[in-house]
Amino acid sequence: MTKIPAFAGAAALAALAALALAAPGTLAQAPPPPPADPHEWWKHEVIYEIYPRSFADTNDDGIGDLNGITSKLDYLQELGVGAIWITPCFPSPQVDFGYDVSDYEQIDPMYGTLANFDRLVAEGKKRGIRVILDLVVNHTSDQHKWFQESRSSKGSPKRDWYIWRDGKADGQPPNNWLALFGTPAWKLDPATGQYYYHFFYPEQPDLNWRNPEVEKAILDVSRYWYERGAAGFRLDAVDTLYEDPKLRDNPVVAGTDKFGRPKHDEIYDRRLPEVHDALKKLRKVADEHGAVLVGETWTSDIAELKRYYGNGDEVQLPMNFMFAMVNALSAPAFRKQIALIEEAGVWPVYVIGNHDIVRSWNRYGDGINNDAIAKVLASLYLTLRGTPVMYYGEELGMENNDPKTQDEVKDPIGVLGWPVEKGRDGERTPMQWDARQHAGFSRVKPWLPVPASARKRNVGVETADPASILNLYKRLLALRRSNEALREGEYVPLVPDDPNVLAYLRRTKGSAVLVALNMSASLPTLRDPLAGQGLKATTGRVLLGTTLAANQTIPLDAIPLRPFEVVIADVGPGR
Ligand code: NOJ
Ligand code: CA
């Protein structure tokens, strides 16, 4: 983790902002900012992640499908998202629920057909919702024809498309690398007596990105989907693309992992610099089609995250998982993470949950105030400078629903690692549409069970409740769209030492919005938060609040906050 003095960056930014606004009287005359670049739509839209197995089932098999997604586009439009990212929906043996692709240019029959995909794109377009697909770049399924050919003989023209090696003289695998999902990283294939390498499950052999034919094949796949209407890709597991050509052993370090294996410093099987060449090539093809690349870029090192942007010629939206790594509500912790990314001078991408980690409602919740905390979190990542990526059901406060016994587990890592590692089923349960059986997701028993809380926590019930998490998300998304400062404005941190309240300004030359988030159960008062900012307003107009009504006027010298209260107020000129 990069270490910098906690608030140095924040203070520097505030000073810069104060300089830029030296004469408060000039605010009103300032020229309007240039309109957002239409080619950079991803900077002003919210992306919504859909796990297709779990969104909506229209053919009564207990598994979601593309037609199910199409049938919910009106809901997504009303919610206010501008793009959906669908996790892999291509043919797959489903060992890793789609992340083991056996054909990159078809739709898995369980999800529908290419015609269904085309209809989804067309219907999405009518509603201003783009479709982002998921490109699994590191590996294929072992059932992919490329791998079938590759494994057939040492002389196969596709042999070098994957990473094959002889074992050591004593019959051991080529080196000590470990697969992420609990097994050794090498599997002996009896057909040729050689081992193949897999960073994830043994059914997910790694492609050999050092082979130009592999690179070309994947670039062609991306082209194929852009030409079919995909607006971009989320790139899976980008830090695993390349391995050390000498296959050196990783150093073993202290401790054991959740599968009880010795820990490794993954210097030879992960984060190799060659990935940036591959990303530049993927980006070039994306640019030819006006498409966006969203990176699955797990790191707690901002310098590493920054490298994925390249010189503006790699990934437009490398996901920043720093918030997802903070597992409790903490104003200082979030403030610090924001300062780090703001200092990096990049376009941030904020994520609080996805299909691989415990749902945010549980992760940040304190067991008592989870709903209020979910609202604070929503108000945070939807009002920061950057692109938020939501996870389906986050807008409902869906809870994690872990399997209760090992027998129930579907995700293989949960079977292998039980009970320390329960797998990822809990965060992948069906979307909760209404209070009917199976939460209105399906008419038959779904592939994963819905929790009892779904009867109260669903789209139907929450739509009717003005104070619901869902309605807060809708208001936040609508506000982002209509408010220039929230969409385009710079981020200016306020009250840098406050232990409970995270407060900041979003501001353009002509407008300013104050966001105050009480991240505690106490009753703090924000005193003069705008001091030194060169703003002449003494009162604010509430744009959105969890307690205060919209358009209410609030004094800015002292803002009392209730536990977990959110106040978003217009504090621009003229008041
Ligand atoms: C990251 C995906 O998000 C995860 O679900 C998957 O298991 C691995 N990559 C392997 O593709
Ligand atoms: Ca189905």
Q: Which two tokens stand for residue 348?
A: 């941030």
253 burial via Cβ count (<10 Å: 0-12, 13-18, 19+): exposed
pLDDT, residue 31, reads 40
> Residue 162: how many CB atoms within 10 A of its CB?
25
Question: What's the pLDDT score for residue 573?
Answer: 81
* One-letter identity of residue 425: D
C-alpha dist (Å) from residue 528 to 531, 534, 551: 6, 12, 20
Q: Ligand 1 pocket test: which of 96, 321, 391 has the largest number of ligand atoms within 8 Å of its C-beta?
A: 96
**Interatomic CA distance for residues 360 and 371, integer angstroms:** 11
If 0-12 CB within 10 Å is exposed, 13-18 middle and 19+ buried, where does residue 3 land?
Answer: exposed
- Residue-level pLDDT at 575: 54
Query: Which atom of ligand 1 is nearest the CA belonging to 96?
Result: 7
**Distance (Å, whole) CA 537 – CA 553:** 11
Q: Which two structure tokens, joined as six digits, stand for 431?
A: 């979307």
List Cα–Cα distances, 338 to 13, 63, 322, 496, in angstroms: 12, 38, 9, 12
User: CA 335 to CA 331: how far, in whole Å?
Assistant: 6
371 close to ligand 1 (CB < 6 Angstrom): no
Burial class (CB in 10 A: 0-12, 13-18, 19+), 305: buried
pLDDT of residue 38: 58
The Cα–Cα gap between 527 and 498 comes to: 11
Residues 6+ apart with CB under 8 A from 516: 501, 502, 503, 526, 529, 559, 561, 565, 566, 567, 568, 569
Q: What angle do CA 116, 122, 128 make, to 5 degrees?
A: 130
The single-letter DSSP state of residue 139 is B
Alpha-carbon gap, residue 297 to 274, rounded angstroms: 15
Q: Are 197 and 185 in contact (CB under 8 A)?
A: yes
- Does any ligand 1 atom lie closer than 6 A to the CB of residue 99? yes
Cis peptide before 5 (omega within 30 of 0): no
For the chain, count helices (H), then strands (E): 16, 21
Asked if residue 237 has its Cβ within 6 Å of ligand 1, the reply is: yes
Catalytic residues: 236, 288
Q: Kindly give the distance from the C-alpha atom of residue 49 to the centroid of ligand 2, in angstroms, as a whole number.
A: 18
State which of 356, 421, 425 you would mutate to test the pocket of ligand 1, scoring each by most atoms of that ligand within 8 A of its C-beta. 356
Closest approach atom of ligand 1 to CA 181:
7
Cα-based distances in Å from 464 to 342, 391, 470: 38, 22, 10
Q: How far is CA 317 from the centre of its chain?
A: 10
- SS3 for 147-194 is HHHHHHCCCCCCHHHECEECCCCCCCCCCCCECCCCCECEEEECCCCE
CA gyration radius for the chain? 24
Find all residues with CB under 8 Å of 413, minimum gap 6, and list them: 181, 182, 421, 423, 424
Yes or no: say if 194 and 95 are a contact pair by the CB < 8 Å rule. Answer: no
Instruction: Kindly state if the Cβ of 136 falls inside 6 Å of ligand 1.
Output: yes
pLDDT in tens for each of the 575 residues of the chain? 322 222 222 233 233 233 232 232 233 333 434 444 556 999 999 999 999 999 999 999 999 999 999 999 999 999 999 999 999 999 999 999 999 999 999 999 999 999 999 999 999 999 999 999 999 999 999 999 999 999 999 999 999 999 999 999 999 999 999 999 999 999 999 999 999 999 999 999 999 999 999 999 999 999 999 999 999 999 999 999 999 999 999 999 999 998 999 999 999 999 999 999 999 999 999 999 999 999 999 999 999 999 999 999 999 999 999 998 888 899 999 999 999 999 999 999 999 999 999 999 999 999 999 999 999 999 999 999 999 999 999 999 999 999 999 999 999 999 999 999 999 999 999 999 999 999 999 999 999 999 999 999 999 999 999 999 999 999 999 999 999 999 989 999 999 999 999 999 999 998 999 999 999 999 999 999 999 999 999 999 999 999 999 999 999 999 999 999 999 999 998 45
State the residue for tokens 């107020």.
569
Nearest Cα to Cα of residue 376 among 427, 328, 318, 339: 328
- Cβ of 425 closer than 6 Å to ligand 1, yes or no, is no
pTM score: 0.93
Collapsing DSSP to helix, strand or coil, 278 comes out as: helix
Residue 200 near ligand 1, beta carbon < 6 Å: yes
Question: Which amino acid residue places its CA nearest to atom 10 of ligand 1?
Answer: 99
Q: Is 356 in the pocket of ligand 1 (CB under 6 A)?
A: yes
Sign of the C-alpha dihedral computed for residues 390, 393, 396 and 401 taken in this order = negative
Nearest bound ligand to CA 411?
A: 1
Q: How far apart are CA 440 and CA 249, in angstroms?
A: 50
> Looking at the CA of 444, which ligand is closest?
2
CA 371, 376, 377, 383 torsion: positive or negative? positive
Give the closest residue (by CA) to ligand 1 atom 11.
Answer: 99
Residue 207 per-residue DSSP state: B
Q: d(Cα 93, Cα 141) in Å, to the nearest integer?
A: 8
**Token match 């490398």: residue?**
318
Instruction: Return the bridge partners of 493, or none.
Output: 504
**Token pair for residue 137?**
């770049």
CB 51 within 8 A of CB 428: yes
SS3 call for 516: strand
